[in-house]
């Protein structure tokens, strides 16, 4: 065996060892879902197959949403071995190993949040979600399906590659509409001939085909159950006054799924299209019990309709009009799967099995880590696995065995390039995680290293002496979680420089004493608008909107906007304070651990075992970055503006994990950074060689605002170029150079910023020149040491002390 193969075997053996813990924890998932979930082995197979109740209330033993299809097991094709072999899971960890293997998803805590946070019910009740589900589940607030329980509930949920929404009578149709758009349908503007264009978007409302039923009309209802990070169950029901309560259509919405699948219970299926059906053809069955139809639409697309029909029932479809396909009779417990036909053979091979939900698990061993999105499934098919679509950043990090699962065809996504088809129930990704980046200035510029000359130390010391004399309370005791956090973090970095770079005990003592006092106001929750614990969505929110009645106050914090941005600053400040205090022999970390951990749990709870917060509220383990939009209706779906404040929150989690000795948290933060680096440089930070975003958009260098359905090179607060580019820079920290490569920064500076930066007179000027240190630290250092430098060039979250220390710390000075 080669050395490389031996290392690979050791690595994956370690991964499988750690999964023992995860599978044991799975037995307690019933505390999270509204119905129990377990893991069942398939007889004669080496692969474990999850069997899940979908969490529908008032379940029946014979008919209804929780009958047989949800409890059937998966047939495993022996020709496609499972990626995870459970026979290896009975090993135990070797505690003496030189490099321990760390489970990335260990709960931070499972206790009820402190009574420090007053309990509230959120003013926005999730529509279509019962009180029982609210009580027994955690509801993600920044997930792909928020549109389905806020506002008018008729805006899209972007599953990728498909888009679905509740059609409430448009075109006379009632049901779940399905759309898939291609890059040829995108609109570019405002001048489509420009290069770069300012934005591109995909059309919405093109109802290619929809799940419906003859019984559906304006009195139908849509309820939601089993909310999770990757999926939710949609239950559509006709009027109970007309038809009683035993009729429903159950559709699990799962990210990346190759089919949209629905289970009909005591309904007469109907399928509608606003595009129009040109023809409907019955085709040969791909499998016993599966009926196949192909619907050709007037736009040139074709859609496959596959029905898995229990023995003893008849099922046939026919065109009743150019816009309607109707089943011949009412059916029960019939699974219907719909997909656009790109590769008909692949659809045939995978029809009959569908994804019901997904989970994620992962480990890290030193700087090597892996994470797996594991899809739970129901039914059976010829392939023995699911048809899934992977995003570009998944594919480039796939474990080598994934190549055998590739099907060789793609579908366009909305804003993340083309997705690749795989026959698998697991997406397994491998990353090298940044274990070496900690608190000290760090750079990826080749040949550069810290050089704190005596002159540099003198200049940094002069700046620190002046800046520690500022009024910390005046800058931190604000009515904004965001701006308070930025100020706390600014002063934390001054304290760091004073202690670890200047090694000046006097400046350190002054800075740390003042900063601890300012931070303690938040740790006591006695700021202007104290934080509350929301029993509805199970999270920590500012009380500002409860007082003002404006959901957008403090950037929408009360409605779960931007939590990772805002709390990320607080967590990072706490990590720095704790790092310094621990070095001085203090106990600050122990005294503040519960408070800071609560903030981490709100934005990045790593486990469904912790029932007091949703799993990974902000960061999407599917998309590879966070979504900032919370409980707000949006036709273009979730969005994120500031990539840099996103990775700053992951960096903060990594450092806080280091300070408190939580190896899982530290490694998880590092894994998030590794994934963000890959995803952000695919979708949000565009090098000249980027092939994922449209060629006529990449010259913008940054996405501006990345939505699920459009990309707009702008900001929510202005259209000046320094705003658009700069919001993807702040704050400049040691991890900035890890995400923003020297080559990318140089391209952005040369093409967009070098002519603008010298003309600025406000804090954006300092931001741009601090970012310059990521590829040209010498020019950055010269700017901040220039006799013409003014404090007006410093943003409210920035200090001259840190900018000087960073530029010098990454090789900006030689004398």
Ranges 69-83, 198-212, 231-245: which has the least confidence: 69-83
Q: Is the peptide bond before 196 cis (omega within 30 degrees of 0)?
A: yes
> Which tokens sit at 814?
């030689």
Q: What is the mean pLDDT of residues 736-744?
A: 98
Rounded-to-integer distance, Cα 27 and Cα 50, Å: 11
| Mean pLDDT value of segment 646-662 | 98
Rounded CA separation 281/495 (Å):
72
Residue 675 predicted with pLDDT over 50: yes
| Bond from prior residue into 161 cis (ω within 30 degrees of 0) | yes
pLDDT value at position 19?
Answer: 42
Out of 610, 645, 708, 776, the active site residue is 645
pLDDT digits (tens, 9 = 90+) for 188-216: 999 999 999 999 999 999 999 999 999 99
3-class SS at 267? strand
CA distance linking residue 46 with residue 310, whole number of Å: 28
- Per the CB < 8 A criterion, the answer to whether 225 and 54 are in contact is yes
Within 157-266, residue ranges assigned H as helices are 240-243
Judge whether residue 94 has pLDDT over 80. Answer: no
Indicate if 641 belongs to the active site: yes
First vs last Cα of the chain: how many Å apart? 52
Could you give the angle at the alpha carbon of 371 between the alpha carbons of 368 and 377, nearest 5°? 155
- 8 A C-beta contact, residue 176 and residue 164: yes
Please state the rounded mean pLDDT for residues 312-334.
97
Contact 815, 454 (CB under 8 A): no
For residues 238-254, average pLDDT: 95
* Residue whose pair of structure tokens reads 């601890």 in the numeric block: 516
| pLDDT value of position 17 | 36
Q: At residue 410, does pLDDT exceed 90?
A: yes
pLDDT band at 814; cut points 50, 70, 90: confident
256: nearest Cα among 219, 225, 229: 229
Confidence of residue 89 (pLDDT cuts 50, 70, 90): very low
- The active-site residue out of 431, 562, 639, 795 is 562
pLDDT at 97: 66
The string of DSSP letters for 77-111 reads: PTTS--SS-GGGTT----TT-SS-EEETT--S--S
CB 254 within 8 A of CB 226: no
What's the pTM value of the predicted model, to 2 decimals?
A: 0.91
Which residues lie below 8 Å from residue 794, measured CB to CB, with a gap of 6+?
Answer: 763, 766, 800, 803
Contact 375, 426 (CB under 8 A): yes
Q: Where are the domains of the chain?
A: 1-98+138-358, 454-809
Of the listed ranges 39-48, 99-108, 442-451, 541-550, the one predicted with least confidence: 39-48
1-98+138-358 fold = Beta-galactosidase; Chain A, domain 5 (2.70.98)
Q: Could you say which of 581, 641, 666, 708 is catalytic?
A: 641
Give kind and range of the element (H or E) at residue 655.
Answer: helix 643-660
437 pLDDT band, cuts 50/70/90, is: very high
* The predicted structure's pLDDT at residue 815: 62
Structure confidence at residue 684 (pLDDT): 98
Please give the average per-residue pLDDT across 266-288, as a whole number: 98
Pairwise CA distance, residues 106 & 605, whole Å: 9
| Section 462-479 average pLDDT | 98
Which segment of 1-5, 664-668, 800-804 scores lowest on mean pLDDT? 1-5
Q: Where is average pLDDT lowest: 7-11, 530-534, 582-586? A: 7-11
Give the mean pLDDT of 29-55. 27
Rounded CA-CA distance 388/417 in Å is 16
Cis peptide before 12 (omega within 30 of 0): no
CA–CA gap between residue 111 and residue 227 (Å, rounded): 21
Residues of the chain above pLDDT 90, percent: 87
The set of residues, in sequence order, having a beta carbon less than 8 Å from that of 65 and lying 6+ positions away, is 54, 56, 59, 233, 235, 248, 250, 263, 265
Task: Find the mean pLDDT for residues 770-792.
Answer: 98
The alpha carbons of the chain give a radius of gyration, in whole angstroms, of: 27
When comparing pLDDT for 461 and 79, which is higher? 461
H or E segment at 266?
strand 260-267
53-84: string of b/e by CB count within 10 Å (b at 16+)? bbbbeeeeeeebbbbebbeebbbbeeebebbb
Give the Cα separation of 565 and 654 in Å (integer).
Answer: 15
Q: What is the band of 681 on the pLDDT scale with cuts at 50, 70, 90?
A: very high
Asked if the model's pLDDT at residue 345 lies above 90, the reply is yes
Kindly indicate whether the domain formed by 454-809 is annotated with CATH number 3.40.50.
no
pLDDT band at 92; cut points 50, 70, 90: very low
Which is nearest to 722 in space by CA: 687, 764, 684? 764
Give, for 677, the enclosing helix (H) or strand (E): helix 663-683
Q: Quick check: 9 pLDDT over 70?
A: no
Burial class (CB in 10 A: 0-12, 13-18, 19+), 43: exposed
Looking at residue 34, its pLDDT comes to: 29
The per-residue pLDDT for 430 is 96
| Torsions phi, psi for 305 (to 5 deg) | -120, 115
Give the range among 26-30, 114-118, 152-156, 604-608 with minimum mean pLDDT. Answer: 26-30
Using CA atoms, how far apart are residues 168 and 801, in angstroms rounded to an integer? 58
Instruction: Determine how many CB atoms are found less than 10 A away from the CB of residue 295.
Output: 23
**Token pair in block for residue 92:** 């135990």
Q: pLDDT value at position 98?
A: 79
Q: Where are the beta strands (DSSP E) in 298-443?
A: 302-308, 317-321, 324-327, 331-340, 353-365, 368-379, 387-390, 406-412, 418-423, 426-432
Asked if pLDDT for residue 431 goes beyond 70, the answer is: yes
pLDDT of the residue at 369: 94
In angstroms, rounded to a whole number, what is the distance separating the alpha carbons of residues 592 and 289? 60
pLDDT tens digits, residue range 371-395? 999 999 999 999 999 999 999 999 9
What is the separation of C-alpha 106 from the centre of its chain, rounded to a whole number of angstroms? 18
Phi, psi (rounded to 5 degrees) for 638: -65, 160
pLDDT at 52: 23
Q: 455 to each of 451, 805, 814, how far by Cα in Å?
A: 11, 12, 10
pLDDT over 50 (residue 62): no
């Amino acid at each position: 065996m080669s050395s490389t193969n031996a290392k690979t075997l050791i690595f994956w053996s370690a991964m499988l060892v750690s999964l023992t813990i995860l599978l044991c924890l799975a037995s307690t998932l019933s505390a999270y879902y509204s119905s129990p979930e377990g893991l069942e082995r398939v007889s004669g197979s080496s692969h474990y197959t999850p069997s899940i109740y979908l969490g529908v209330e008032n379940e029946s033993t014979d008919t209804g949403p929780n009958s047989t299809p949800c409890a059937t097991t998966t047939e495993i094709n022996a020709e496609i071995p499972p990626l995870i072999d459970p026979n290896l899971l009975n090993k135990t960890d070797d505690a003496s190993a030189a490099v321990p293997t760390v489970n990335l998803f260990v709960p931070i805590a499972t206790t009820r949040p402190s009574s420090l946070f007053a309990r509230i019910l959120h003013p926005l009740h999730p529509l279509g979600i019962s009180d029982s589900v609210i009580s027994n589940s955690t509801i993600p607030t920044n997930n792909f399906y928020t549109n389905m329980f806020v506002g008018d509930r008729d805006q899209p949920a972007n599953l990728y590659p498909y888009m679905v929404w509740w059609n409430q009578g448009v075109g006379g149709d009632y049901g779940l509409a399905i759309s898939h758009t291609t890059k040829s349908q995108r609109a570019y503007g405002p001048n489509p001939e420009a290069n770069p264009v300012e934005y591109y978007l995909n059309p919405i409302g093109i109802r290619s085909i929809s799940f419906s039923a003859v019984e559906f009309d304006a009195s139908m209802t849509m309820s939601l159950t089993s909310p999770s990070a990757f999926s939710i169950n949609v239950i559509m029901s006709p009027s109970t006054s007309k038809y009683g309560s035993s009729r429903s259509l159950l559709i699990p919405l799962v990210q990346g799924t190759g089919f949209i699948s629905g289970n009909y219970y005591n309904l007469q299926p109907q399928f509608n299209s606003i595009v129009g059906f040109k023809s409907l053809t019955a085709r040969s069955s791909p499998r016993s019990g599966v009926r196949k139809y192909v619907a050709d639409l007037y736009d040139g697309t074709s859609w496959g309709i596959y029905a898995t029909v229990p023995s003893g029932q008849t099922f046939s479809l026919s065109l009743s009009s150019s816009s309607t396909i109707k089943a011949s009779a009412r059916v029960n417990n019939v699974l219907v799967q719909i997909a656009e036909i790109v590769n008909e053979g692949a659809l045939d091979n995978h029809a009959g099995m569908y994804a019901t939900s997904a989970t994620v698990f992962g480990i890290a061993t030193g700087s090597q880590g892996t994470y797996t999105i594991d899809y739970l499934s129901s039914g059976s098919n010829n392939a023995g696995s699911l048809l899934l679509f992977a995003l570009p950043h998944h594919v480039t990090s796939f474990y080598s065995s994934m190549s055998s699962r590739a099907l060789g065809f793609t579908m366009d996504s909305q804003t993340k390039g083309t997705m690749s088809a795989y026959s698998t129930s697991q997406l397994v990704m491998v990353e090298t995680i940044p274990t070496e980046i900690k608190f000290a200035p760090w750079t990826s510029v080749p040949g550069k290293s810290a050089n704190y000359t005596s002159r540099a130390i003198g200049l940094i010391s002069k700046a620190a002496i002046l800046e520690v004399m500022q009024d910390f309370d005046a800058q931190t005791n604000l009515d904004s979680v965001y701006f308070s956090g930025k100020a706390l973090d600014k002063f934390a970095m001054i304290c760091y420089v004073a202690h670890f770079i200047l090694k000046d005990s006097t400046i350190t003592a002054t800075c740390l004493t003042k900063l601890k006092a300012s931070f303690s106001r938040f740790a006591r929750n006695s700021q202007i608008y104290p934080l509350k614990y929301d029993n509805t969505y199970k999270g920590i929110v500012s009380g500002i909107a409860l007082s003002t009645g404006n959901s957008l106050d403090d950037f929408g914090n009360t409605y779960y906007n931007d939590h990772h941005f805002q709390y990320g600053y607080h967590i990072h400040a706490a990590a720095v304070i704790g790092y310094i205090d621990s070095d001085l022999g203090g106990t600050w970390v122990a005294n503040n651990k519960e408070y800071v951990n609560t903030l981490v749990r709100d934005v990045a709870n790593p486990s469904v075992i912790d029932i007091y917060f949703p799993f990974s509220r902000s960061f999407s383990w599917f998309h590879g970055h966070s979504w900032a939009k919370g409980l707000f209706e949006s036709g273009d779906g979730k969005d994120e503006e500031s990539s840099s404040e996103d990775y700053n929150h992951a960096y903060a989690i990594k450092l806080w994990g280091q300070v408190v000795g939580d190896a899982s948290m530290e490694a998880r933060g590092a894994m998030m950074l590794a994934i963000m680096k890959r995803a952000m440089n695919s979708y949000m930070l565009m090098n000249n060689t980027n092939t994922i975003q449209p060629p006529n958009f990449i010259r913008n260098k940054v996405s501006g605002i990345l939505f699920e359905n459009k990309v707009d090179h702008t900001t929510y607060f202005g259209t000046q170029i320094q705003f658009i580019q700069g919001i993807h820079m702040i704050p400049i920290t040691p991890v900035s150079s890890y995400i923003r490569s020297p080559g990318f920064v140089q391209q952005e500076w040369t093409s967009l910023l070098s002519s603008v930066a010298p003309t600025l007179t406000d804090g954006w000027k300092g931001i741009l020149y601090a970012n310059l240190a990521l590829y040209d630290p010498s020019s950055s250092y010269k700017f901040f040491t220039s006799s013409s430098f003014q404090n007006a060039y410093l943003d409210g979250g920035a200090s001259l002390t840190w900018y000087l220390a960073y530029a010098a710390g990454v090789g900006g000075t030689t004398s």
